[in-house]
Chain A
Amino acid sequence: MGPSIKNIISLFLILLLSGCGTGQKQDPNTVTVWHWMSDREETFEILAQRYQQETGITVKFELFAPSEAYAQRVKASAQTNTLPDIFGILGEKRDFASFIKSGYVADLTEEMNIEGSAWKNRFFEKALAVNEFTEGNPHGVQPGMYGVPLDVTTIQMVYNKKLYTQAGLDPDAPPKTWEQFIAHCQKLKDAGIPRFVSGFGEIWMIDALASNLAMNLMGEDKVFKTYKGEVPYTDPDWVRVLSLFKQMADEKILVEGGVTMVNKTAEQTFANERAAYAFNGSWCVNVFKGMNPNLQYAAMLPPAVNVSHPVKIWGGAGSSFMVNKQSERRAGAVQFLKWMTDNAQQVTLAKETENLPSTKSSLDDILPILKEFADDMDNATHPNLYPVHESPQVTEAFDKGIQSILIGEKTPQALAEEVQKLKEKESRKKSS
């Protein structure tokens, strides 16, 4: 006979009971931080140790990845009031607002403004804006600052200088207007070089470029009016925006397979010099450094369709941390975040992970290529800053529709009508 009943059941129960052990008990002053940034885990550990040495307070960083799992974890913990002292909120601003209104996020306005706004003034204006709710915001949140930006990112374009030279173009003169862009693309095509790549499989990337082009073509105000419902999507300006994508499809500007590419693949493509342009975020600097340190490239703004309006790109705080309103270590948490955004720490972060710091004073030590991104911060805006938001269903239909345009399945006019119909339906639902 095999092992006796008693043996196996005892083994099972022992295993089970030993599983009753939980994680370690911790010192009541330990500040716990939950994050999703696997790239920075090491750097965070270094900073935690540094903080321990300087202040004697232990900070515990806990990583949950990938970011989808992190977001789920945070939402679930909110339901049970088990959020840590410091955490980040991923997602749209309405989620952020919901967290605040539910009482999970501490209002940091006071701490930011003391001593003549010493803390607040360290940051780039755009970095703060994403974490701020202003007077009369559409979410009904009490105005104030609710988060601390750790870094800043922009989403714009980069181009490969070497490929430019190969095609007979001046590597220091990227296209500034849409016409120039099309002309350069023609030359690249003649030289057999694939042109434009982006992670269009992730529809938010399409959304970014589309809204950039739209705001440049018709001006920010008209775009907001459309979100409000005062201007229809069938307006000729919107059809023109969609036609730009059609043009990209017709002239085969987007690389083969770009429509369903995830961003990481797009980054690989550009890093391996298989595309002349990429539409990506400033984090790509770190990615490219690892994949192809010899890559010769430079940053550029998306080409202007309409020179009478400014070119807008998405930018602002990349990653931010919030303080748990219900935490007993609020003061300690705030103190730690202040320290994290001190110059010394910002420089460390920027150096280790090639990100743009969120504080103005730390710009000197970063890579020159990163500086090019930083320079374009003035053009930055961000959906989280818009005074009015489009409903997610309409946005999804719009972005997916652009995918259809890019594969030649829909015409700009048809999509505009479709989106407008959906928008009207959604508005009727809301008002009923």
Chain B
Amino acid sequence: MNLHKLRNLIGNYLFVIPALVLFFTFSLYPFFKVFQLSVTDWDGISPTMHYVGFENFVDLFTDNPVFWLSMKNAGYVTFLALTAQNLLALLLALLCDREIKGGNVYRVIFYMPPVLSGIVVGLIWNWIYDGNYGLLNHFLEFIGLQEFTRAWLSDSKTALTAVSVIHMWKGFGWGFIIFLAGLQSIPRELYEAARVDGASSWVVFKNITAPLMIPVFMLVSILTILGTMQIFDIIISTTGGGPGYHTEVPITRILSTMIGSSKFGYASVMGVVFGLILLAISMIQIHVSRMMRQV
């Protein structure tokens, strides 16, 4: 390789060096350390620890039903988010896509929930769901559906769904913005041509909008899965993982193993396994998205 080419190559690398330096220092190195800790029995405090090999991993896979229950719970919330939350976001985006009155105002309003801090969200929703004085129960009584009133966050049947609603309420704003952006990039001429041909709204959506929006759907669904599986601050400020284990999620389990049981090594294993599962899911999604676009 001649000098000119070498200089060129170095120049190219320089563009990515700052990012790589930061990444190796602040992401890769700590992650590597965590991986190291996952094969020990460290308690988080003492300067000594013992190597336990893959004992932690084995235990996690064979003898920790609570962790997998928490994965199931997170999966349930994610499923709801992928469907109900994103459908809502899509619907709102479709409505705001047309030249609707106050479109800009709505954009700002729908972005308010994501901006709010967890404290306010927790306080408000605890009040809405309260068993005795909550707004939801008051409303149900008001419209004559008393028999449905209950302590939403303490009832084993409704606790997880109630928490999911909070998460979806807080999250739909992001999906809304992204969907709206995607919709606005579809050339209007396509719609006009379809209308001239007499197509109904549903046909227009099915044949024009949806296919063009596939990449956007994929982006939103990846972000939704990643964000929802890691849910935890809403849980902590409303149910604390209860009643029983009904609203436990992977992150709350990791935290309680790390801090409550002082089993830092074991908690690291949970983190690593959880991360790898999320990585696998995302990779599959990206692959599917690439395949669908070639269709």
Give the interface of A toward B (CB within 8 A): 68, 71, 75, 78, 91-92, 94-95, 98-99, 101-102, 194, 200-203, 255-262, 265, 274, 392-393, 396, 400-401, 403-404, 406-407, 409-410, 425
Contact = CB atoms under 8 A, between A and B. Distances in A.
Interface stretch (B9-17, B83-91, B128-136, B172-180): B128-136
Interface in B238-293: 238-240, 242-245, 256, 259-262
Nearest to B130: A257
- Main DSSP-derived SS at the B contact region: loop
A403 B151 contact: no
A94 B239 CA distance: 27
B151 A257 contact: yes
Nearest to A204: B260
Given A265-B126, A274-B132, A403 B46 contact: no
A259 B156 CA distance: 10
A256 B45 contact: no
- Main DSSP-derived SS at the A contact region: helix
Given A92-B262, A274-B132, A259 B46 contact: no
A71 B256 CA distance: 13
Contacts of A407: 154-156, 243-244
B43 interface: yes
Nearest to A201: B240
A68 B233 CA distance: 13
B244 A404 contact: yes
B44 to A, nearest CB: 6
A370 B243 CA distance: 33
A255 B132 contact: yes
A257 B154 contact: yes
6 contacts: A102-B46, A102-B47, A257-B153, A261-B154, A404-B243, A410-B244
Nearest to B256: A396
Ordered nearest first, which 9 A-B pairs have the shortest CB separation?
A256-B131, A257-B131, A257-B151, A98-B45, A392-B261, A259-B154, A404-B244, A260-B239, A256-B151
B280 to A, nearest CB: 28
A393 B263 CA distance: 11
Nearest to A90: B259
A98 B46 contact: yes
B242 A400 contact: yes
A78 B159 CA distance: 39
Contacts of B256: 396
Given A98-B43, A400-B245, A257 B132 contact: yes
A75 B261 contact: no
Contact of A78 (B45, B261, B262): B45
Contacts of A260: 151, 153-154, 159, 238-240, 242-243
A408 to B, nearest CB: 9
Nearest to B64: A393
Given A91-B259, A257-B130, A409 B240 contact: no
Contacts of A409: 156, 243-244
A262 B156 contact: no
Nearest to B155: A407
Nearest to A258: B154
Given A260-B243, A396-B260, A403-B242, A102 B154 contact: no
Contact of B44 (A75, A400, A410): A75
B232 to A, nearest CB: 12
